[in-house]
Structure formats: structure tokens, C-alpha cells
Amino acid sequence: MSHKSDIEIAREAKKRPIQEIAEKLDMTFDDIIPYGHDKAKVSQDFINSVQDRKDGKLILVTAINPTPAGEGKTTTTVGLGDGLNAIGKKAAICIREASLGPNFGMKGGAAGGGYAQVVPMEDMNLHFTGDFHAITSAHNLLSAMIDNHIYWGNELAIDERRVSWRRVVDLNDRALRDVVTSLGGVANGFPRQTGFDITVASEVMAILCLSKDLADLQERLGDIIVAYTRERKAITCRDIGADGAMTVLLKDAMQPNLVQTLENNPAFVHGGPFANIAHGCNSLIATKTALKLADYVVTEAGFGADLGAEKFMNIKCRKGGLAPSVVVCVATIRAMKMNGGVAKADLGAENVDAVKAGCPNLGRHIENLKSFGVPVVVAINHFVTDTDAEVQAVKDYVEGHGSEAILCKHWANGSAGTKDLATRVAEIADADMGSFGPLYNDEMPLFEKIETVAKRIYRADEVLADKKIRDQLKAWEEAGYGDLPVCMAKTQYSFSTDPNLRGAPTGHSVPIREVRLSAGAGFVVVICGEIMTMPGLPSKPAALTIGLDEAGDVQGLF
Amino acid sequence: MSHKSDIEIAREAKKRPIQEIAEKLDMTFDDIIPYGHDKAKVSQDFINSVQDRKDGKLILVTAINPTPAGEGKTTTTVGLGDGLNAIGKKAAICIREASLGPNFGMKGGAAGGGYAQVVPMEDMNLHFTGDFHAITSAHNLLSAMIDNHIYWGNELAIDERRVSWRRVVDLNDRALRDVVTSLGGVANGFPRQTGFDITVASEVMAILCLSKDLADLQERLGDIIVAYTRERKAITCRDIGADGAMTVLLKDAMQPNLVQTLENNPAFVHGGPFANIAHGCNSLIATKTALKLADYVVTEAGFGADLGAEKFMNIKCRKGGLAPSVVVCVATIRAMKMNGGVAKADLGAENVDAVKAGCPNLGRHIENLKSFGVPVVVAINHFVTDTDAEVQAVKDYVEGHGSEAILCKHWANGSAGTKDLATRVAEIADADMGSFGPLYNDEMPLFEKIETVAKRIYRADEVLADKKIRDQLKAWEEAGYGDLPVCMAKTQYSFSTDPNLRGAPTGHSVPIREVRLSAGAGFVVVICGEIMTMPGLPSKPAALTIGLDEAGDVQGLF
């Protein structure tokens, strides 16, 4: 049992040169583009050259609704990947990139935890391979070209009041949420009110993560709706003429990043869209590339299964032609207890009844996941205070729901703690037991898609939406966007839209506050609560204590 | 003679793996941090390990006042570096990085030209190794922390009307020149008017380029003045507490970038501060590192010698303890003719009288450069239409000024065209003929420093400054900033402040419009004309035609 912090463990990692990690996936040094000695991108030429290969098995890691106790979804993704390698399988993991900006507010974090981490941790919390900077540049080039178009005569007749495309910055900067630009006279353009979001909220991020290749990327960028005319005609990025230049800015960023786990196994870390106004998964191109190179690919989805797995299935798999062979749902004894009504301070004491009382949250996720036609395994991410009786209670409950729960100790023991899980997951994947299908077909009307998710996944009685919202959805259907999936933005803490409603609530309703069209990414965002797309810094931001120590090591970032 | 474009020549380059270029300077693969296979950074650890080595000889390339005919200063820098290598010397060049943003307005350019270029051209015009993105992030983190400080109670009593620190973006975006931020209510802070500059105009850029090491970088970042209180007390970046976090964001960017010339010789391309409101030279750390690794280091300064070389000597050399062994002043026959009154359309015809009439511009630069105690050689950068008589006229004129002019044909022939120049430059450098000293000492009052530059370099009769400006300079002297050098911001097209006054004007005066304190970079900016720190895009920006072709190559960027 380790008493070291994640950062201490990460810094003691015996990293191997990145070309050795690439070799594990049969890539040569020429097939990768090194970024330092411990990071690389997989070259587009190499990706093109492997398109005819057979795909490996895709394994999705998701979780119960998050609680303050923590679930360890990324930790389990890493641990399962290492476990598969440890039992002799050729496996890779695919996870998301972290955003730089928020690390200067709250402390940044590891990718994973304990002895199941991806390194180099520092780089992944800072500039990494520059992907997010490229997205920021591409997004803001479009912004500048919109204002420039208006400045030079506005041939497209853009209504300056209806420019929906904002600007982005990869920082927490509340002062930029709401701004007036182009002040200062004739030479600076036409003043208008707009604002900045954080880079991960950019539609460009969602597009990069859903594009199959550079041609698809440019097509999707071109489809972005940036503004409307007075007659409500949509103006796209293609109308502005920015799609080609944006693609050039993003061509390097489109190539998946390769790093390694603490056990020197390959990890793709690429893309990081918001999990509320976007789909919250790592890039499609990373997942698809990994499937060409490894026999088993373990990936994860954001938040709990009601949001993350639902979007993984209905958005990412639909658009990418992916089909998971097995889903691992992560749960912890502590989170079960919190779902069972125990306060965080009391989580250390054995409480089998509370565990049992909390299990219905897990049970519903299992049912939901099975409804996609995929086998489900529960991973109990072990914590030191868990008792045998508590673990057994979860196992029994899960067995009663036609699934199985496996105890995992990767946080403390790395791959030695996930061999059971890895063995079982590989067996299920190899047996091809699933018959994956998304929850709804493309042809279903948009409002019915929302109802389908709300009723079948959230188990709500009804969806509440005023006429304006229903009319907007109909207008988009008439404009040709009716075949898009819906991207739900609601609280991750509950099946319902009330973050305090833990467990497995029923009888609730889902009120829709707003709908937005992400025409480039290819989904309709359905907002059911407060969505913050530009965080602020706290009164004592982490930045105040971040610095280099005398050895040149970064302090205060973690 | 080549009829290929710069980009065609660059794309045909037989690049060597970057580790081979590093080996030419006796660096191993472990001493560098690769960024792809053709770019690298020199690691900070390696830089630390070579500090006790003897320095090579420093050669500055500067030029006459720029004309629309072009001079080819970077081309000559590259050609001379290749020429030195061709005659068996261990030589490296040091030039500046290009800014990404402007390439989407006007087409980007090569570093050098013809057969004297640095590659990879595309990467250097796009994200390169991410240095400018890091500068943007560090700059804007400070901006966010200033507004955040005010938001959470404003303990430092910052006067919101006197926040001088703006934000930056590496794009041409006129809409951001003048903005009002923090609109939208209590949660977004206190509305105030501010704006964005382009990243290269950031004081962080100037600081990165003048810092000896990371400790010096953090010290200088801390010294930045970001705002004033109502009582006009200066508030620094250190007061805000951002210097440590900014240093962390800049730690990779501080490491010099290594690329190669078309002839596979080492080229350091690092840093790119404005040449008007800053000093316009590549980074001090790149130059100093190159001097530890090569026997001859060829570097360049921005604009003509009146601005660029003056700042190189009085700012960069002063702060870095550098002393150039020889200065090469680039001139072209065409530029001499334009200085002699010939219109651009008529430059193709032989006109020895016009060449002679234009020579005094060159002559004055030679005199000025000699006043720094350094030997001067003139490089005549050959153009196809130059006649022997025209070339001889320049050679005769230069000889009459106690210097020598050498014809160079590197644009067409690479190093074969600069062997004469390289041989002579190496001879002079080896002879240690110079006794370099800056133009004024630290103790001289600020206004006298301005007068010294204006009278001795620009040959002006007087400096015009109203009482407010003189009082401001005195106030800075009282506050302890009197020992800083001055950084002149005036037109590059003339010795005077009138861009149309070519040749070698006298009897003019230098009116000061404004003075600004760059307390972190460590100079007082003296503005004598219109200075634009945020360009706009033209009506048909290059971005409209930039894109990837079917082979995945970038089109329209050059």
C-alpha cells in the first residue's frame, strides 16, 4: 500500500523513450512525430497506411453518477489497460487531454491515480503537444475573419446582432465572458457585444474530436453556423472562407498523441471536449487509430453513464461507426454509501445497509447500458476502508441484476490489481456477445430523441419545453438538421436535473432551458440547467503558488 | 540561376534528421528535445552544462534603411552562415521566429530566400515549437489574475482606470484593439476599457528574449508594471503573484529552437519581439548558447542599422554582455538606386549615377556602426539586373569610407556565393580588431540617452518633447529606472522620423509622442510616430486561399 501522492509516484516513473512505446504497437520512429523524448504524435501518413487493418475490440469504461467520494474512472481505464497488457494482451488506452487554463485556478490533476497513471503528468497539465493552442488559434481566426468581413463591406449581409460565434481562450477569465469589441472609432470596426468561452467549450474542439480525417474535419468546420442575416439566413464558416485556413492550423493537432502508463504501456491522450455542451470523449481518430494498432482498446466517457456513456453510444459510436464489445461501469463502496445517504465525513465506517441502499444507482446504470445491447461488467475500485461485507453486498446486488462485479486494486498495485477484471473483460470481448445499437435512429424527430433519452436513460416522466424551443427544433428539422443526435447538457450528479437527487429517482421531469445547434460537430445541444462555458479564478488561485523550484521542477501545479 | 520560388526550393530541401544537425554542434540526441524530426529545442540541462566554455565570435548582420526593393538581410545571414561552414568553419546562425497571425492576412514568407533559407518553412510560419502560444498564455494569465484580484476585493487598491496591462492574441484582429470587458453583471467583475495587442508586441516576448536564464526570466516578469493605484503607486506582476506561474508556462519556450539551413547547417530560430516598441532581436539565450557551441555565430537585427543595430548594441549586447567582432551591413544595388531617387518600376535599368546618389545612406550607416568600435564589412546582395559598373560604384564608395564591400550571390548559389564574404569576415573576427562599447553609459539621464541616439545615429539637430514627457522621464529616474537604455520606436524607412526622407538627411528634428516604461524587459520605449500593436486583416486576407491540397500539403500560405 502506497502512501505517496500521485505526483510523487508520477515523478518516480521509469519512463521509456517514446519510440519504445510506439514499437509495442509496431510503429517505427518514422511513424511517429516526437515531441520531446516522452511524447509523440502518430503521423497522418502512418494512420493512412493502416486503414485496411482489422479493428481490435473496444472497451468502454464509464461510471455511476459522480459523488464527492470519487469513482476513479480514468484510474480504472489506465488500470484495465495495464491489466490487459499484464495478462499478455496487446492493449492500448484512449483518454482525454486536460485543459491548461483551469490548472491555474484549482490545482491540476493526474491522468489516473496511484499506480494507475499516465505520464508525463506535468506536460499533460501544461502545453502538452499544443493541440489546444491550435484549436484556440483556429477558433479565433474565424472570429477575426467574421469581424473583418463585416468591416470590409459585409457582402454576406451578416446581422451584427446575430453573430453567434464568440472567441475562446484557454484560461479561466471571467472578465472576458461578456465584452464589447470594436470600440475606438471607424478603423476598428462596428462595436458589438460578444464574449469569450474557454477553449474546451469551442465547437472546433468537438469537431476535431468527431472528425474521421482532415477532409472530414474541413467539411465539418465549413458547416459551423457563425451568424445569421436579418432574414435569419444562416451564415457558415464556409461562407466566411475560413475552413481551409482553420484546417491548416489544425493539421498537426488532428494527429493523436501517444504517451505511456506508469507500466510503459501505450496511452493515446487526444482531444478534450466539454461533457455537457459537447460529447465529452477523446478524439474519434485516436480511438480508431488505436483499434488498428491494438487488439484491445480501453477508453472512457465523461461524467456518469447517464451522460457520458449515453453520448459515447449515441454520438461518438454513431458518427464513427464504432461498437463497444463490453462496457465496464466503475463504482466504489464509498460512492455507494453516499448514494445511500451517508455524509462524506462518515464514509470511513462500515455500513453495509447504506451500501445496499445506494446500489440502485448502479443497478439503473447497468440496465441502461444493457439497453444498448452490450455486456456490462462492474469494476469495484477498491479503497483502503472498504470492508469485505460491503464489497460482497455490491457483488450480490450486481449478480442479482444479471451482471458481475469484480474487485480491482490498481490504485495500490497497478496491473496486479486488475488481472481478474482484465481476464474477464477479454473473455467477454472475445466472445462477441454484444449486439450494439444506439438508443434511437437518425430519422426520429429531435424532440422525440430528447424524450427517448429522458425517459429511457433518466427515467423521467416527461420533458418540459416551451413553444419557442419546440418551434426551434422544428425549424432545424426543416433546415435539414433533423437527422442529428441530441447532446444533453444536464447535471452529472443525478439521473434527474436536480444535482441533489441521488440514487435512482423516478417521477421527475426534465425542463429544457435552451437548445443550440452545433452544425459542424453535428449535434443539437439540449441545455437543462446552468451551463458555464467560461470559469472564473478563485480568490486564491493555484497560480499564486505555482513556480519552479531550485532544481527546475514545477511546484504547486498539483 | 534559379527560377524557382522560395517555397519550391524549400520543399525540395534534403533535410537531415535534426539529431544530425545537433551532432554538428557536438550535441547528442539526449541534449536536444525533438519536435518532430526536423525541429528541436536545446535542453536547459545541456545549456547549463556548457556555461564554462569559451565563446565563439559574434557577427552581426544589419542593413541600410529598408526600401520596397528589399535588402535580403536574413538571406545574407543564412548565406554567410552557410559560407562559413563551406570554408571549414564551425558556424551557426541565430534569427527570429515568425508570428503566426499576420500570415493569415498577407502571405507568410521564407526565413531567407532562394538558396539561402532556413527550413522547415511551413512549421516556422505556423505553430513551430509553440513558443508564441506559451507567451500568449503567460501574458493572458497575468491579465486574468489582475482582473481576478480586483474582483475578489482589490487588496492592492488598483485603480481600474489605470490598468496598463492589456491582453494579447497571435492574430490580426482589429476588433480587439479597443474593448470593454467584465460586462454582464456582478459575477463578471468591474467593467473597464482595455484591449488586445498581437503577441509579438507583448512585454513578455521582449523579456523572454532578454533573459539570461529562468531565474532572470522570473525576476523580469515580476518587475513588469501592470497598473497603478489612485496615488500613482506602481503595481507589478510580482504584487499580483503571477511571476512564478508565468515562468512555468514559459519554461519550455525559453529553450532555443534548432533547425537547419538548406545546406544542413545549424540555425537557431528563437524569439521575435517587435523591432519598434521592443528591441527586435532573436533571444539572448539562443545567441549565448550558439556562442558556446560554434566558433562563429551570425545573427541579425531588425529593420535598418539606425534602429536594429543600435538596439542590438545598446540593449541586447549591454544586457547580455555580448560584443560583436564584426558587423556586416547588407546593401543592394536596387536599394541604393531607390535611395538615389529612382522609382521601383525603373530599377531594372543601369543607373550608376543613381547608385552613387544613394550611397550616402550606406555611408552613414558605416560611420554609425564604426562608432560602436566594431569593424564593418558591406555585403552587396546580388540581384540579376545589377551591372558590374553599378557594383563597382558601391565598392569604390565603401572603400572611400574606410570599409570594404564584397559581392555575394548566395540567393542564387548558396554558400558558393558567400565564400569571399565568409573568408573576410572570419579573418576580421579572428584578428580581434574591435573594441566594442555601447553608445552611452547607464548613468546618463534618460533624455540625454534619447538625444545621444537622435544626434549621433539619426543626425538630428534636436529632440522635441513637451514638459509632460520630460517630467515622466524624470519621475522614472527618481523611481530608480534611470539606468535603463532607451528603445526607439520610429519609422524604419529613414534616418529621420519622416518615412519619405531617404538618403542621409540632416537638420531634422525628432518629436517624441509618448514614452512607455517596460520595467520587466528593462528599457524605456520612446515613441516617435504611429505605432500599431494590433494589425487588421486586409479585405481579401490570405486565409481565404490557405488550405490543404489533396496530397495534404499546405497551399496559399506563401
Among candidate residues B403, B435, B428, B420, the one with its CA nearest the CA of residue B326: B428
The reply to whether B382 and B407 lie within a common domain is yes
Q: Does B147 touch chain A (CB under 8 A)?
A: yes
How many angstroms separate the CA atoms of B184 and B485, rounded? Answer: 43
Tell me whether residue B435 is in a domain.
no
Contact A539 B152 (CB under 8 A): yes
User: Which residue among B430, B465, B493 closes a domain?
Assistant: B430
User: Which residue among B189, B221, B249 closes a domain?
Assistant: B249
Domain that holds residue A264: 6-129+253-430
The reply to whether B418 and B407 lie within a common domain is yes
Q: What is the pLDDT of residue A434?
A: 79
Q: What is the pLDDT of residue B2?
A: 47
Say if CB A501 and CB A471 are below 8 A apart: no
Confidence band (pLDDT; 50, 70, 90) for A302? confident
Q: Does A551 touch chain B (CB under 8 A)?
A: no
Q: Chain B window 181-210: which residues touch A at a Cβ cutoff of 8 Å? A: 181-184, 187-189, 193, 195
| Mean pLDDT on A173-188 | 98
The reply to whether A147 and A217 lie within a common domain is yes
| pLDDT tens-digit map of A223-265 | 999 999 999 999 999 999 999 999 999 999 999 999 999 999 9
Dihedral sign from CA coordinates of A432, A434, A440, A443? positive
Tell me whether residue A538 is in a domain.
no
ipTM rounded to 2 decimals: 0.97
The reply to whether B300 and B389 lie within a common domain is yes
Q: Does B252 touch chain A (CB under 8 A)?
A: yes
Query: Which three cell numbers, joined as nine digits, stand for B481?
Result: 529606472
User: Is pLDDT at A450 greater than 60 in this prediction?
Assistant: yes
The reply to whether A395 and A410 lie within a common domain is yes
Confidence band (pLDDT; 50, 70, 90) for A84? very high
Q: β-strand B523-527 against B509-511: which pairing, if any?
A: unpaired
Contact A174 B547 (CB under 8 A): no
Tell me whether residue A313 is in a domain.
yes
Confidence band (pLDDT; 50, 70, 90) for A107? confident
User: Which residue among A249, A275, A299 closes a domain?
Assistant: A249
The reply to whether A207 and A284 lie within a common domain is no
Helix (H) or strand (E) holding A40: strand A40-42
DSSP A438-495: -SS-TTS-HHHHHHHHHHHTS--SEEE--HHHHHHHHHHIIIIITTSPEEEE--SSSS
User: CATH code at B136?
Assistant: 3.30.1510.10
DSSP A213-259: SHHHHHHHHHH-EEEEETT--EEEHHHHT-HHHHHHHHTTTTSPEEE
Say if CB A282 and CB A209 are below 8 A apart: yes
Helices (H), B87-155: 121-125, 131-151
More confident call, B432 vs B463? B463
Q: Does B373 touch chain A (CB under 8 A)?
A: no
Q: β-strand B376-381 against A57-63: which pairing, if any?
A: unpaired
Q: Does B106 touch chain A (CB under 8 A)?
A: no
Q: What is the pLDDT of residue A2?
A: 47
Tell me whether residue A534 is in a domain.
no
Q: Chain B window 346-365: which residues touch A at a Cβ cutoff of 8 Å? A: none
Total domain count, chain B: 3
Confidence band (pLDDT; 50, 70, 90) for A356? very high
The reply to whether A374 and A466 lie within a common domain is no
Tell me whether residue B498 is in a domain.
yes
Among candidate residues A405, A291, A385, the one with its CA nearest the CA of residue A345: A385
How many angstroms separate the CA atoms of A42 and A259, rounded? Answer: 11
Give the three-state DSSP class for A181. strand
Contact B174 A182 (CB under 8 A): yes
The reply to whether B261 and B403 lie within a common domain is yes
The reply to whether B306 and B450 lie within a common domain is no
Dihedral sign from CA coordinates of B124, B127, B130, B134? positive
Contact A183 B193 (CB under 8 A): yes
Angle, to 10 degrees, between the axis of helix A131-151 and the axis of helix A243-250? 160
Q: Chain A window 86-105: which residues touch B at a Cβ cutoff of 8 Å? A: 100, 104
| pLDDT tens-digit map of B467-508 | 999 999 999 999 999 999 999 999 999 999 999 998 999 999
Among candidate residues B271, B454, B305, B276, the one with its CA nearest the CA of residue B376: B305
Q: What is the pLDDT of residue B530?
A: 87
| pLDDT tens-digit map of A466-517 | 999 999 999 999 999 999 999 999 999 999 999 999 899 999 999 999 999 9
* Residue B502: burial class (beta carbons within 10 Å; 0-12, 13-18, 19+): buried
Query: Which three cell numbers, joined as nine digits, stand for A364?
Result: 439503473
| Mean pLDDT on A393-406 | 96
How many angstroms separate the CA atoms of A36 and A120, rounded? Answer: 11
User: How many residues are recorded in chain A?
Assistant: 558
Say if CB B74 and CB B124 are below 8 A apart: no
User: CATH code at B494?
Assistant: 3.10.410.10
Tell me whether residue A11 is in a domain.
yes
Tell me whether residue B314 is in a domain.
yes
The reply to whether A150 and A125 lie within a common domain is no
How many angstroms separate the CA atoms of B411 and B417, rounded? Answer: 8
How many angstroms separate the CA atoms of A201 and A197, rounded? Answer: 6
Cα of B261 to nearest chain A Cα, Å: 21
Contacts of A543 (CB under 8 A, 6+ apart): A104, A105, A537, B141, B145, B241, B242, B244, B245
Q: Does B51 touch chain A (CB under 8 A)?
A: no
* Residue B180: burial class (beta carbons within 10 Å; 0-12, 13-18, 19+): middle
| pLDDT tens-digit map of B80-121 | 999 999 999 999 999 999 999 999 999 878 899 999 999 999
How many angstroms separate the CA atoms of A55 and A90, rounded? Answer: 12
The amino acid at residue B412 is A
The CB density around residue B435, as the number of other CB atoms within 10 Å, is 9
Cα of B258 to nearest chain A Cα, Å: 13
Among candidate residues A213, A203, A169, the one with its CA nearest the CA of residue A278: A203
How many angstroms separate the CA atoms of B187 and B174, rounded? Answer: 28
* Residue A501: burial class (beta carbons within 10 Å; 0-12, 13-18, 19+): middle
How many angstroms separate the CA atoms of B18 and A3, rounded? Answer: 42
Q: Which of A546, A555, A558 to mutate to test the interface with B (most CBs of B within 10 A)?
A: A546
| Mean pLDDT on B221-248 | 98
The reply to whether B418 and B454 lie within a common domain is no
Confidence band (pLDDT; 50, 70, 90) for A437? very high
| Mean pLDDT on A147-166 | 98
User: CATH code at B67?
Assistant: 3.40.50.300
Contact A178 B178 (CB under 8 A): no
pTM score above 0.95: yes
Tell me whether residue B34 is in a domain.
yes
Q: What is the pLDDT of residue A189?
A: 98
The reply to whether B154 and B105 lie within a common domain is no
The beta-strand segments (E) located in B196-354 are 196-198, 225-229, 234-236, 257-261, 266-269, 296-300, 326-331
User: Is pLDDT at B1 greater than 60 in this prediction?
Assistant: no
